[in-house]
Structure 1
């Protein structure tokens, strides 16, 4: 899906042609790309329409993506990493100034100065930092592996947050991955990498693009299906 950078906000949108409409409408929903509907226009015209409404879109995104009320994290809660749900232990650590998160071979351990439970919004940046660290350690190494396997080359890789997708290949063939890719099973991470590498050759989801994906990853449909299941996140590619 195309992207528009508006200040510090990255707006992703998808276009739905609708010949019954006389003008264009924008819909903003939680965890989804912005929906632009109306008479058929090309991508340059779509971007202009989104840019005209960018301030309003930014305000609506801020509203609809407010954190939803969820239960505190306690010992016995589960956190996801590489396709598995791991037991989480929350320890009271009054000597610490701020909470800390670490991962052993079998569990997450949260050390919390305020007690035996921690709110998800406080834990979120710690988990994000963990995913980022592991992405730099493991994911970028897999990108190098798949470059060698496929012969397709990037012009760099980055870890960054997306509004509603797992990864992207920009016009300069730089691959960008959301840290939460590290929640996915390793085989699905590989599919995301191959998918984006194929975009260095074919920018759109054409028949040629999917043929290229199948050439380098036969049976990719299974991993794509698993990715659809993981849209509980919700993110997309």
Structure 2
């Protein structure tokens, strides 16, 4: 699907022909690419239409992709990392200036100055920082491994916050990963890497693209299904 970079926001969209409409409409939904529908237009015209509404789209994406309201996080709650959910301990630390999040081999620990529970909205920035740090530590090693395995070369990689996608390969062959890729099982992380490496050769999801993915990762459909079912947008 095409992507428009608007400031720090990557807007991914798809087009739906509706010849009954006289103008074009944009729909923004949680965890999905932007829908552009209306009379037939080619991709450059689609991009111009999306750019015209880009500021509005960015604001709506920020609204609809906010973490959904849920119960406060307390000792015994579980947070996701690397395909598993881990026991979480919330400790009341009155002297702490702000909440802190740490991870041991078997659990998350939250030090909270405000009590023995913390709202997901307050925890989300801490959890995303943890994912970002782990992504910066671990993903470059996996990218190098898969470059050696496949012979496909990226121009670089970086961690980037997207509104509605896990990863991207830009026009300069730089791989970009959402920090929350670290929620996923290692095998699915590997699939995401191989998927984006294949985009260095085939930019679109053509038959040739999927054949290239299959040549490097037979049985990729299992990982793809896990990815499709992953609850992007629900961190806690």
Q: Normalising TM by the smaller chain, what interval?
A: over 0.9
Could you report, residue by residue, the CA deviation over 1:2-23 in whole angstroms, capped at 9, with x for unpaired residues?
2223344332211122333332
Aligned to 2:87: 87
What residue in structure 1 maps to residue 32 of structure 2? 32
Instruction: List per-residue Cα deviations over 1:155-194 (Å, max 9, x = no partner).
Output: 1000011111000000000000000000000000000000
Quote how far apart the aligned CAs of 1:216 are. Answer: 0.2
Give the secondary structure class of the aligned counterpart of 1:70.
coil
Q: Is the aligned partner of 1:156 residue 2:156? A: yes
Q: Aligned partners of 1:192, 1:66: CA distance in 2, in Å?
A: 24
TM-score, structure 2 normalization:
0.94
Does the 8 Å CA contact 1:82/1:186 hold for their aligned counterparts?
yes
Aligned counterparts, 1:11-22, within 5 A = 11-22=11-22
Aligned residue runs from structure 1 range 48-67, under 5 A = 48-67=48-67
What is the rounded CA distance, in whole Å, between the counterparts of 2:22 and 2:166 in structure 1?
A: 34
Q: Determine the C-alpha separation between the residues in 1 that align with 2:66 and 2:222.
A: 33
Whether the aligned pair in 2 keeps the contact of 1:32 and 1:234 (CA below 8 Å) is no
Partner of residue 123, structure 1: 123
Cα distance in structure 2, aligned partners of 1:224 and 1:97: 42
Q: Contact 2:65–2:233 at 8 Å: present in 1 too? A: no
Residues 87-106 of structure 1: pairs in structure 2 closer than 5 A: 87-106=87-106
Gaps of 5+ in 2: none
Give distance in 1, aligned partners of 2:186 and 2:233: 18
Secondary structure at 1:193's aligned position in 2? helix
Considering Cα pairs closer than 8 Å and 6+ residues apart, tell me whether 1 or 2 has the greater RCO.
Answer: 2
In structure 1, distance between residues paired with 2:8 and 2:227: 28
Residue number in structure 2 paired with 1:188: 188
Task: Give the Cα–Cα distance (whole angstroms) in 2 for the partners of residues 101 and 130 of structure 1.
Answer: 8
RMSD of aligned residue pairs (Cα, Å): 1.6
SS of the residue 1:15 aligns to = strand
Shift of 1:62: 3.7
Does structure 2 conserve the Cα–Cα contact (< 8 Å) formed by 1:23 and 1:38? Answer: yes
Bigger Cα displacement from structure 2, 102-111 vs 4-13: 4-13
Decide whether aligned partners of structure 1 residues 17 and 136 sit closer, same or farther in structure 2, where only a CA change above 3 A counts.
same
**Secondary structure at 2:90 match in 1:** strand
DSSP 3-state at the match of 2:22: coil
Q: How many residue pairs were aligned?
A: 234
Q: Distance in 1 between matches of 2:175 and 2:77?
A: 33
User: Shift in Å at residue 87 of structure 1?
Assistant: 0.5
Q: CA–CA distance in 1 between the matches of 2:102 and 2:190?
A: 25
User: What does residue 232 of structure 2 align with?
Assistant: 233
